[in-house]
Amino acid sequence: MIIKNRRTLATTELRDQVLQIIEAGIRRVLPLDIMRSAVSYDAARRTIKIKSDAFRLATTGRIFAIGGGKASGLMAEALESIIGAENITSGVVNCKGGNVKTQKIKAIVAAHPIPDQRGVSGVAEMLALKHRYSIGENDLVICLISGGGSSLMPHPADGVSLRDKQKITELLIGSGAEIDEINIVRKHLSKIKGGRLGVFYAPATVISLILSDVIGNDLATIASGLTFPDPSTFSKAYDVLKQYHLLSQAPGSVIDFLKRGRRGEVTETPKTLNNCYNYIIGDNELALEAMSAKAGKLGLTPYIITSQQTGDTTAVAQSRAKEVMERRYTGYDVLLIGGETTIKLPTGAGKGGRNQHYAAVSMLAMAQYPGQWIVASVGTDGSDFLPDVAGAIVDQNSLGVAQEKGIDVKSYIERYDSNTLLGSIGNSLIITGDTGTNVGDIVVYLTAEKAC
């Protein structure tokens, strides 16, 4: 059971169905199955195949594994089971969770969403592989990348301290900036992001296997494009800070470094990479398709609205509720959505995350729906900003419980304190623990005209 408190949350048949649908989506994007469907290895011919592309190793060629992201630990475990640990010379990955069982690939647990020294040390170990083993053009470096890689693989540019990277990351996350904008800044404050990791391992061939948590699967944005050419510039990175009014709050070293880059005093990120091959092996759509199939098996009629939902969390939740209230999706009783909305936190904000906030806003926005309804919003990685909460589920009874307890729901929403609100209501917070994967957020709406 992926949702650890499912029995507690499943107070009605409809709620249980929603939780089953969520579990089906997360289960479909767990690294082992995805890796096995994407990667194969022929030891006799010394050939590794990624989807339809085969890479043949030279007689002296060796295989190394590196990478980072919330799923990279389990991806490493899966890679060893597919290729055989004996066929991998060495490797290092930075991941978020523990309990990774590998033989040749070292899994280092680091921090997310704010980078820490463990992440810096892990990257240093990855880079040290090249010199230690004299990695050359006959060798193959497999890079295991998933969402969260930007935070889990910190390697600050010269003159920018880890503390300064932590500060600018905090500011960007709370600013309302989109993930691609945040990562443009990260790329230009790093020695390995924006394609620089791929450059570092040249002339070796680098194959990146990627679990995407980014809308549209933009390879330049996922984990800040470690092995993909970067179309952005230092000027654009500076403009992002300016657009979100962060120039006066950002550490001086960050501003100085970006200005030096704008003047051409620092080498730009690479615009071409001839030794790198990038493959998306899993994303939000896979999860939604599995959720749709599960809903059908439960006798429900599902409809996937989109896998690319973005925008302000409050506005999007209100807009989706309005669509449901207006019967825009007549004929369907389960609506499925994937993506990642954005919250701009006010000063003094309470505890929560975008999925908890989405559910809390939906509780008010759906209040006048004439029938049974459920809304659940969950981060597939199991962490909705807070490490111990994946998201939340609410229904037509949640508001009534809050009112009976004298809880002013609107005031909690306005101060972005959704975790406290939903915890007080009870039977709302979804707990999965670290799932070992990450393809963004999934949202389920279930409606019924008759009581269950």
CA distance 165 to 174: 14
> Residues 88-96: what's their mean pLDDT?
97
pLDDT per residue over 162-192, tens digit each?
A: 999 999 999 999 898 999 999 999 999 999 9
> Residues 11-26: what's their mean pLDDT?
98
The DSSP symbol for 190 reads: B
Calculate the average pLDDT of the chain: 96
CA distance 159 to 246: 19
CB within 8 Å of 367: residues ≥ 6 apart: 396, 399
CA distance 199 to 203: 8
Selection from 355, 326, 188 nearest residue 261 by Cα: 188
User: How far is CA 149 from each of CA 256, 405, 426, rounded to the nearest angstrom?
Assistant: 25, 42, 33
CA distance 81 to 79: 5
User: How far is CA 78 from each of CA 34, 84, 102, 383, 412, rounded to the nearest angstrom?
Assistant: 9, 9, 9, 22, 42
Identity of residue 134: S
Selection from 169, 209, 178, 97 nearest residue 437 by Cα: 97
pLDDT per residue over 389-424, tens digit each?
A: 999 999 999 999 999 999 999 999 999 999 999 999
**Contact status, residue 291 vs residue 24, Cβ threshold 8 Å:** yes
- Give the domains, in start order, of the chain with CATH numbers: 6-28+284-448 (3.40.1480.10), 33-282 (3.40.50.10180)
